[in-house]
Amino acid sequence: MLPSLESLQCFESAARYLNFRKGARAMGLTPAAFGQRIQKLEEQLGVKLFVRTTRTVHLTEAGTTLRDPVERCLRMAEETMRAARGERTPPRTEITLGTRPELGMSWILPQIDRLEKALPWLQLHLYFGSGPDLSLRVRTLDVDCAVTSIRLSDPKLDSLRLHREDFVFCAATTLLARQPFKRFEDAEHHALLDVYPDLPLFRYWREATEHGDRLRFGRIVRLGTVEAIRLRLLGEAGVAVLPEFIVRKDLKAGTVRRIFPSIKPLHDYFRLVFRTDDPRRWLFEDLARSLVKMPLQ
């Protein structure tokens, strides 16, 4: 007897979350009922699919082998239902997209109506967080995907490139008029503003020149978010390397000025990040294509 689609859906949910309680919640079942369906599937197939301890859940070799065929089977079943109903678009889908506050407010939030018009089957929810927090939440499936420029080294995460992110080493024009920054030695008279102790923003300038390590700032202030850095920079509290799109209007208005303009900082890319093993890659590819068409602002 062939396994039921519900049993396969339970397996897919358990394999995705590697947590039976989360998998049961996603399926709308009690943990006991969910566990019974997994057990029945294992009995039907004659193999053990999961190894469970009091703290962890792991796929067995048979479970790992089964993932791709199950995902294909479920997609085909879904497509069969839509074809029978005459539906030509994907089913209504809700996803939570993580983003940094300043990027979400300036770029993604103003584009939500346009996104949902381009992808009418998509219901988009937003979550705001820092780069490391976003990566962790995608990894643990607390959010479905995230837009971030943080450098990835986790094999459980995959990404699609969106927009190039350029950077500017800058300060308030009034601050530079009062306290010039024309020589590397002038750094000792200024505070460097950055987000974290490892100075991820300043690194884009420091690694762009062999002279990057010659700057010795009077102090370093960590502010946690890019927008907080911009506001303190405008308040003459220090100098900073910031994404160009964040200070574009300030540069044009003349309230912010570049430091060492002949040295061009390195660039990065915003990426749409999601789980490598998430079967909805097609959905993230559609979303990424739509985001690429929307100018960064």
Contacts of 8 by beta carbon, 8 Å cutoff, 6+ apart: 41, 70, 73, 74
pLDDT band at 90 (very low <50, low <70, confident <90, very high): low
Structural fold of domain 167-266: D-Maltodextrin-Binding Protein; domain 2 (3.40.190)
CATH 3.40.190.10 domain residues, the chain:
93-163+269-292, 167-266
Work out the average pLDDT over 249-277: 93
Displacement of CA 150 from its chain's centroid (Å): 8
Give the pLDDT score at 132: 81
d(CA 293, CA 117): 13
Q: Flag the least confident range among 65-74, 158-167, 172-181, 265-274.
A: 65-74
CATH top class, domain 93-163+269-292: alpha beta
Per-residue pLDDT of 102-134, as tens digits, reads 888 888 888 888 888 888 888 889 999 887 889
d(CA 175, CA 181): 9
More confident residue, 202 or 224: 202
pLDDT band at 86 (very low <50, low <70, confident <90, very high): low
Quick check: 173 and 254 in contact, CB under 8 A?
Answer: yes
Structural fold of domain 5-85: Arc Repressor Mutant, subunit A (1.10.10)
pLDDT band at 6 (very low <50, low <70, confident <90, very high): confident
Residue 38 clears pLDDT 80, i.e. is over it: yes
Give the pLDDT score at 154: 83
Give the pLDDT score at 83: 63
Give the pLDDT score at 119: 87
Short-list 209, 293, 195, CA closest to 246: 195
pTM: 0.66
Give the pLDDT score at 87: 57
Give the pLDDT score at 66: 85
**% of residues, the chain, pLDDT over 90:** 40
Give the pLDDT score at 91: 66
d(CA 27, CA 9): 8
Quick check: 279 and 285 in contact, CB under 8 A?
Answer: no
